[in-house]
């Protein structure tokens, strides 16, 4: 229910991040997308509008994400301190730095006050009668997850969507035509073709390409028996590129999502079941509003050399997979009117 009210924040944050962009420049999609999504995450989680405070959070979250490498996530044996040195010790120090910022903001809130407009208020107002342990530590875990998972995965999806929009002129023209008479974020999130472009980008490039679950009872899939307690995974690339479900699966074709309804057993960029990503609706809203704000504010063009290159591979970047190379767009002009919200 809160997502609609966040549209104005997303539009304002995106406008802030592209305010200084000028014609004749080239902008890197990764740097821009990460800046926008982290700005949005900080504003939505904490309502931090002050630029200096936001910079503190940006530095802390960025440093923590860079230190949280794939080996540390996937190999538990590496998670040990060696006399205060090593990758794990550094990660713990950076986590503690971010936690100090979180604690400072939590101390300014009243736990028994009505939930406000940001996620910190929502968490502080929530009560779990069955919870054990220190409540503050649990909230720190949730806040770190919201800040980390809530921006890097969305940034990756934004990069891929912009890549396909500006690589194919017909796609760009159709999105631009939808946006021509659409300004309010609430209208933007309902645009069918823009929504289809985002869904198709997520099909081709799911930011987290495997969904893991621990089995509560034995399960046999494709003749392979798995015991209770085992961790199994759904490989989203195998699902999203299955030619029996997706004709010509390697082709970027947003119209797939306009021609028919897609089953959650065929398409799962946000996982599935009751553990489906809780931020799925917000991520879709953020992608639509941010892309619309960029397109209605800047006239961009993909350099010819990039258009003629093969599509970049997806490689691991932190907790998500992203284009293996930086994708740049040339700034041709600034448009006179940007997407605006309701005065937030």
pLDDT in tens, 13-26: 999 999 999 999 99
Give the integer Cα–Cα distance in Å for 246 and 242.
6
On the question of pLDDT at 341 being above 60, the answer is no
pLDDT of amino acid 54: 87
pLDDT digits (tens, 9 = 90+) for 22-72: 999 999 999 999 999 999 988 888 788 788 888 898 898 888 888 877 666
Give the integer Cα–Cα distance in Å for 117 and 139.
17
pLDDT band for 343, please (50, 70, 90 cuts).
Answer: very low
Confirm if 283 and 154 have CB atoms less than 8 A apart: yes
Give the integer Cα–Cα distance in Å for 33 and 250.
24
> Helices in the chain by DSSP H: which ranges?
3-18, 29-46, 51-67, 70-74, 87-107, 119-125, 135-167, 169-179, 185-188, 192-204, 236-240, 256-259, 280-297, 304-307
Long-range contact pairs involving 105-111 (C-beta distance under 8 Å, separation at least 24): 105/46, 105/48, 106/136, 106/139
pTM of the model as a whole: 0.87
Give the total residue count for the chain: 344
Helix (H) or strand (E) holding 301: strand 298-301
Q: Average pLDDT for residues 315-320, to the nearest whole number?
A: 79
CB contact set of 231 (below 8 Å; sequence gap of 6+): 212, 213, 214, 215
Residue whose structure tokens are 């997979």: 321
* Average pLDDT of the chain to the nearest whole number: 86
Weakest mean pLDDT among 43-52, 149-158, 207-216:
43-52
On the question of pLDDT at 137 being above 80, the answer is no
Q: Average pLDDT for residues 189-217, to the nearest whole number?
A: 94
Q: Write out the DSSP string of 310-339.
A: PPPPEEEETTEEEESS--EEEEEEE-S---
pLDDT of amino acid 25: 96
Q: Average pLDDT for residues 243-271, to the nearest whole number?
A: 94
The listed range with the strongest mean pLDDT (41-45, 221-225, 297-301) is 297-301
Q: Average pLDDT for residues 247-268, to the nearest whole number?
A: 95
Give the integer Cα–Cα distance in Å for 147 and 37.
9
Structural domains for the chain = 3-128+135-209+277-334 (1.10.630.10)
Residue whose structure tokens are 């035509």: 177
Helix (H) or strand (E) holding 298: strand 298-301
pLDDT band for 193, please (50, 70, 90 cuts).
Answer: very high
pLDDT of amino acid 339: 46
Give the integer Cα–Cα distance in Å for 36 and 40.
6
On the question of pLDDT at 344 being above 50, the answer is no
Q: Average pLDDT for residues 201-228, to the nearest whole number?
A: 93
Strand order across the 26-28 sheet = 26-28, 328-334, 298-301
pLDDT band for 74, please (50, 70, 90 cuts).
Answer: low
On the question of pLDDT at 267 being above 60, the answer is yes
pLDDT band for 296, please (50, 70, 90 cuts).
Answer: very high
pLDDT band for 189, please (50, 70, 90 cuts).
Answer: very high
Q: Average pLDDT for residues 117-140, to the nearest whole number?
A: 69
Cα-based angle 253, 149, 69 (whole degrees, multiple of 5)? 105
The closest alpha carbon to 121, from 36, 46, 59, belongs to: 46
What percent of the chain clears pLDDT 90, i.e. is strictly above it?
A: 51
pLDDT band for 136, please (50, 70, 90 cuts).
Answer: low
On the question of pLDDT at 312 being above 80, the answer is yes
Confirm if 98 and 144 have CB atoms less than 8 A apart: yes
pLDDT of amino acid 21: 94
pLDDT of amino acid 338: 45
Give the integer Cα–Cα distance in Å for 233 and 213.
6
- Please give the residue that has the higher pLDDT: either 120 or 217: 217
């Amino acid at each position: 229910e809160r997502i609609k009210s966040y549209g104005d924040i997303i539009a304002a944050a995106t406008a802030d991040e592209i305010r200084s962009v000028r014609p004749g420049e080239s902008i890197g999609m990764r740097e821009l997308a990460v800046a926008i999504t982290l700005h949005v995450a900080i504003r939505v989680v904490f309502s931090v509008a002050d630029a200096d405070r936001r910079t503190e959070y940006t530095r802390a979250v960025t440093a923590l994400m860079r230190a949280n490498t794939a080996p540390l996530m996937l190999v538990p044996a590496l998670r040990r301190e060696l006399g205060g040195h090593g990758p794990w010790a550094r990660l713990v120090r950076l986590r503690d730095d971010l936690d100090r910022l979180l604690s400072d903001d939590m101390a300014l809130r009243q736990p028994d006050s009505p939930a406000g407009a940001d996620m910190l208020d929502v968490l502080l107002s929530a009560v779990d009668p069955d919870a054990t342990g220190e409540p503050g530590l649990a909230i720190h875990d949730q806040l770190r997850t919201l800040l980390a998972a809530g921006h890097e995965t969305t940034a990756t999806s934004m990069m891929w969507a912009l890549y396909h929009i500006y690589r194919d002129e017909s796609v760009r023209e159709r999105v631009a035509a939808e946006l021509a008479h659409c300004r309010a974020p609430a209208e933007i999130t309902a645009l069918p073709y823009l929504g289809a472009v985002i869904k198709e980008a997520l099909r081709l490039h799911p930011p987290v390409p495997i969904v893991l679950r621990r089995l509560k009872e034995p399960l046999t899939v494709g003749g392979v028996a798995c015991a209770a307690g085992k961790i199994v995974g759904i490989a989203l690339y195998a699902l999203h590129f299955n030619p029996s479900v997706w004709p010509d699966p390697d082709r970027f074709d947003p119209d797939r999502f306009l021609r028919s309804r897609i089953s959650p057993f065929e398409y799962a960029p946000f996982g599935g079941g009751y553990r489906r990503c809780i931020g799925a609706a917000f991520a879709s809203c953020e992608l639509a509003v941010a892309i619309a704000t960029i397109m209605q504010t800047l006239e961009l063009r993909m350099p010819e050399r990039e258009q003629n290159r093969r599509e970049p591979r997806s490689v691991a970047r932190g907790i998500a997979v992203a284009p293996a190379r930086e994708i740049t767009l040339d700034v041709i002009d600034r448009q006179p009117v940007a997407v605006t919200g309701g005065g937030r």
